[in-house]
Amino acid sequence: MTLEALEEEIRACTNCPLCRTRKNAVPGTGNPHATLMLIGEAPGRQEDERGEPFVGRAGRLLSEILAEIGIGRDEVYITNVVKCRPPGNRTPRASEVRACMPYLRRQISLIGPRIMVLLGMVPAKTVLGMYGIRFTSMGEMVGKVFHVDDVILVPCYHPAAALYNPRLVDRIRETLRKVGELYQK
């Protein structure tokens, strides 16, 4: 199975009710051999329209901060825990996360990233959990670096949160700078 074939499978998915309200499923974009993977929560309105992750305001902020530390979007892989937009951008339900998790697992195993940045609480909880680490709170876990087997997991505030609370921009910058250092190693 190639990453492309998996992305096609995701585009046609009907495993949960979000398939009935989405315009486009959003499998993920970027380098299929990326060593750095960024994982968000779920697509928003613009992502749903374009079928690409992080292309709205939060995505532009993320791209800007990545560019500041010398990382281009095309060299990383960007995806979400849930591949279809929840109506009104509500938080995805646990059942939707469960239905979608096999896709994320398969993406991780096909791409084989060395570092994963978990953007917000849903990916932090989900992905840390996949690696046997119990999520406590964003306040406590953000910016910490978790080494599990041969991967590095880094919870980070979600760029959408920084649109409402500009103080978080610097926290995201700080976390992604740390990620940049690990990435260049």
Neighbours of 25 (CB within 10 A): 23
Query: Looking at 46-54, 109-117, 147-155, 165-173, which segment touches ligand URA (CB under 6 A)?
Result: 46-54
Contact string (CB under 6 A) for ligand URA, positions 125-154, x = contact:
------------------------------
For helices 3-11 and 94-111, angle between their N-to-C axes, nearest 10 degrees: 160
Binding-residue total with ligand URA (CB under 6 A): 13
Which residues are within 8 A (CB) of 54 and not within 5 positions of it... i.e. 6 or more apart? 38, 40, 47, 62, 63, 78, 159
From candidates 53, 86, 155, 180, binder to ligand URA by CB under 6 A: 53
54 or 183, CB closer to ligand URA? 54
Q: How far is CA 47 from CA 71, 86, 157, 179, in A?
A: 21, 11, 19, 25
* Site track for ligand URA across 71-110, x = CB under 6 A: ---------x------------------------------
Q: CB of residue 58 vs ligand URA: minimum separation in angstroms?
A: 5
**Category of 93 on φ-ψ map: left (φ > 0), alpha (ψ -120 to 50) or beta:** beta
* Residues between 151 and 180 that touch ligand URA (CB under 6 A): 160
Non-local (6+) Cβ contacts of 184 within 8 A are none
Give the residues lining the site for ligand URA (CB under 6 A): 40-44, 47, 53-54, 56, 58-59, 80, 160
